[in-house]
Structure 1
Amino acid sequence: MYKYTTSSFTTRLGMRPIVARALYSSSASSPIKRVAVVGGGQMGAGIAQVSATFEHGVTLIDVNAEALERGQKYMAKSLARVAKKKFPAEPNVASDWVEAVLGRVRPTTSLSEGVRSADLVVEAVVENIGVKQKLFGDIAQAAPGHCLLASNTSSLPIGRIAEHLDAEAKARTLGLHFFNPVPQMKLVEVVRAEHTGAQAIESAVAFVESIGKAPAVCKDTPGFIVNRLLLPYMMEAIRLLERGAAEARDIDTAMKLGAGYPMGPFELCDYVGLDTLKFITDGWFKEGDGLRGDKAFAASPKLDELVAAGHLGVKSGRGFYDYSASKKK
């Protein structure tokens, strides 16, 4: 069992302390002060933004300057929206606040330089086990001995990502699964692999709370908590459609109005990305721990057809729904 502070425990019992932290907390309650984020895409930039908002020193790392520039533009645009709500009648104050937050983020293309003084490194790169294994090996060599090594993966086992690290580095390796869009989504899954030490989990939970998020600790199991429950639901909705039980729009309406979901399953599929959904479920069906051959994750003809046609959801302009008209507006 892992021990938690009284504040951590009471936070889990009710939402009010979490909401209060989201508005007023700073990095003072966390031993983690310096954060390095590897990957300047939307997820990495979002993690960097939130960390900097709560006064952590942040290094954003990517392989080229163009990717870093895109990440910085994403943060600037996102922070401008936050500042407009935070300081609605004080545009100068809002501008200064945005500038101050961005000033805490230092971009670099050098991995070794970016992680050498970090207390926490969060990896947010492509979902490829080989890429992540090599990256974690490089990070472990360059980062300080106390540094936590975290992956933002949503589908790959933390144990496999860390399998080539030595025992000491493995004890500091865990999952920190943020949700998209990071600035708005409150949940972070803190994933404990078999090799992860108790101190690493405790420090990770404190960090998550210090940036205004709500941690949910779980074992290193396929899909962790949210995706393990969501993906069977999404796949079953697709099979309902394939069987002709109802149209996609009617299924979405039923789940939103009948079950209180903010998005229907097909809206959610399109938002996540149909290629991402297929990648994860195919992987679980073929080699997921305890999920191999599970019919819930068997290939869907409709999903395969859409992905093969390049209809990947919102990001491509078409998935189960057509978004091309709204993009032109």
Structure 2
Amino acid sequence: EYMRSPFSCQNHEVYSTLSLGAATFPTDGADPATLLRNADAALQTARRGGGDLLVPYSVELNTQADQRLDIESDLRHALERGELELHYQPQQSLRDGALAGFEALLRWRRRGELVSPAVFIPLAEESGLIIAIGDWVLEQACRQASEWSAHYGRALTIAVNISPRQFTHPSFLPKITDLLATTHIDPACIELEITEGVVMENTEQAITVLGQLRALGLKLSIDDFGTGYSSLAYLKRFPIHKLKIDQSFVRQLAPGTGDAAIVQAVIGLGRNLGISVIAEGVENAGQRALLHLWGCDEIQGYHYGRPMPPREAQRYLRSSDSMVLAA
């Protein structure tokens, strides 16, 4: 309780949290080294749980820690082993029903089995591996967009998620500049998705970087919009093209609900600011109909198409073009 109270430091209020891990002698260890190791395993669990927690050691924690280390060790070799791959989920324009583009989604095939991104992406972030992995994702997406654009004779947008560590890294902008030069791709074919939390952590620096990225001709979008803490005063200063409504607001979408009010507000906000809006997590015709009625620009989700490997995505692209030409 005392730790939650702020204290003053040079005219600033400072808030702190307390995370505790506990190990008991002799149950959890017969020597100081073992006790410290097990207490630290409990402490890391408390931190990952959000802080302000006391977590007692258990055998399961060591098992989880060992599994985590094993996964992280394999992840460090995933690139060189060719285990990473991109799947592409189609996005639909609600104006004419045409294919608007794809989102590139990272997949890791470890020992022949796909690992959930919810498991390995946080590990990549914490370990710093996300920088190299993010570079690889951008390069693959650029080459895929270039290949499809050349083959089908029209520009096709591919959206790529940019991690917080990747966005704030000093090498981010130079690497993108070099990548655009080496792949000779139209920058407008690549849309960088950045979470609102990232751009709000250091707003002025983020605005500068976003401006430089837009000057290169890249498209920019705010991902998971509505789940963070965006300031509307800053939003109008962000040089972005698109807002992406998080799927948590779309999953149970129905008229007259709180989710409906938020979704309609974001669509209205985008319209007034001249920013397009896409809703992710659209899984049925009812959700699509509501979003179309409210003026949402694009949708993404299982209702229109699941994430698919490049060859399958290419077949989807070919059939989508055929459907539009036949319409």
Is the shorter-chain TM-score for this pair beyond 0.5, marking a shared fold? no
Specify the structure having the higher radius of gyration (Cα): 2
TM-score range relative to shorter protein: under 0.3
**TM, length-normalised to structure 2:** 0.26
Name the one with the larger strand percent: 2
Name the one with the larger helix percent: 1
